[in-house]
Amino acid sequence: MDCTNVGKLILDLRKENKMTQKQLADAMNISDKTISKWERGLGCPDVSLLSELSQILGVNIEKILLGDLEPNDADGGNMKKVKFYVCPNCGNTLTATGDPEVSCCGRKLVPLIPKPTDEIHKLTVEEVENDYYITFSHEMSKTHYLSFVAYVAYDRVFLIKLYPEQSGEVRFPKMYGGNIYFCCNQHGLWVNGR
């Protein structure tokens, strides 16, 4: 851990949060001289203070220790490059088009890799009026179910969260040039070929 880089990051984040050294010190129940020492690179925060510092400054502990907030490359806004993340503990579903660091329930999440449909994991898509009417026969028990179905087009994502014991049908507004993704809680992410 390079105390000079850590100190510079703390200084930048404190200013970004429009806080004085005294305000940050008061929020952490420490002396403003300690904050000054960190910011000048003359010492680093004690491990016991990192969690609180992370919450106050709104940055991951890992980034504080590295002393760097390297930005992601701009993604150009193409939603067809969307990545899906699902927490194995609580089932939270998150999406991103760039390369974020995503975590939930204390675990780092990796993007799910879509597989082409098979006989068990497939959807039936019909056009009804101005919608896609999607049905599936996948089991929807409390232990094995589809957790979401998403329609991804160039500039938008429609995601419908599903729950155990729910019926096997959803509807999306019809758009052209999109793909339909769905996630099985036991077997991961699938992309439906149409």
CA pseudo-torsion sign 92, 136, 171, 158: positive
Tokens representing 3 are 């105390």
Superfamily grouping for domain 3-66: lambda repressor-like DNA-binding domains (1.10.260.40)
Give the pLDDT score at 61: 85
Interval 26-81: pLDDT, tens: 999 999 999 999 999 999 999 999 999 999 998 888 888 888 777 655 555 566 78
| Domain(s) of CATH 1.10.260.40: residues in the chain | 3-66
Return the CATH class of domain 79-192.
Answer: mainly beta
Are the C-beta atoms of 64 and 45 separated by less than 8 Å? Answer: yes
Query: How many residues are listed for the chain in this entry?
Result: 194
3-class secondary structure, 160 = strand
Give the DSSP letter of residue 9: H
Residue 58 burial (CB count, 10 A) = 9
Give the pLDDT score at 77: 57
| Domain(s) of CATH 2.60.40.730: residues in the chain | 79-192
CA pseudo-torsion sign 108, 110, 111, 112: negative
φ and ψ of 80, to 5 deg: -70, -10
User: Whole-model pTM?
Assistant: 0.70
Residue 194 in this model has a pLDDT that exceeds 60: no
Report the C-alpha gap between 108 and 179 in whole angstroms.
27
Pairing assessment for the beta strands 131-135 and 169-173 based on DSSP bridges? antiparallel
Give the pLDDT score at 70: 73
Tokens representing 164 are 């155990």
Are the C-beta atoms of 25 and 35 separated by less than 8 Å? Answer: yes
